Amino acid sequence: MRKLLALVAAGALLLAACGSGEQTLVSPAGADGNTASGINVSGQGKVTGKPDTLTVSLGVSVLRPTVDRATGDAANLATAIIDALKANGVAEEDIQTANYTIYPEYDWSGEQQRLLGYRVNNEVRVKIRNMDNAGAVIDAATTAGGDATVVNNLAFSIEDNAELLQMARTAAWANAEGKARQLAQLAGLELGAAISITESISYDTPPIYYERAMAAMEDAAATPIESGTQDVIVNIQVTFRIG
């Protein structure tokens, strides 16, 4: 009868924990009916930093009557863009081919399809590490590519994030430990050492809208690049021993 009552009590506590939004579990009895096994809590730490790297896809898209002309013109323009990037301080290892496609393009407006020519897209993914020079780098690349230039997928990141991660982990631990101590106190238990820790890391950056970025490029003498801020978020799950 006592074992049955213990199982019912444990089940009631488990259901109460599952019904809340927090992933917090107090387990007062193990499967073998022994004393309390642990308190499982979640914790989050968020630290805001300034991005130090801009990644952007730069390239060309050309349409020509023949494949030879399309590939030749695309190669020349792409080479000009890469040369402009290097001349403006982008390291060779920070330039990587991201997309290269060739396909026929048709006009479907009439009763029969009509071949317009062959489309060649040639893009490189570029990391710009000097944020103060980012606008000038993009301007130089677009000038080199001319009307065939394509700019896509601007994304900011924090590559040197070791210090921010340490700060976020400290905040996440304080958050989790504070929950566990309060739960133990409310239950009349003594909180022991942590016996299990799992971690996940995420980054939150405000979106960059392509149309707005392109409008800025067209209306300004020099392309303005504003990196804003980025959140470094650490989430942890910790199990503390009881007693």
Helix (H) or strand (E) holding 68: helix 67-87
- CB-based burial label for 173 (10 Å; 0-12, 13-18, 19+): middle
- CATH number listed for the domain at residues 53-157: 3.30.70.2970
Is CATH 3.40.1410.10 the classification given to domain 20-50+159-243? no
154: Cβ contacts below 8 Å, ≥ 6 apart: 54, 55, 56, 208, 210, 213
Residue ranges covered by each domain of the chain: 20-50+159-243, 53-157
pTM of the model: 0.67
Amino acid code (one letter) for 75: A
pLDDT means per 10 residues, the chain with 243 residues, are 37 38 44 61 95 95 97 97 96 96 92 92 96 93 96 90 95 97 94 95 68 48 78 96 88
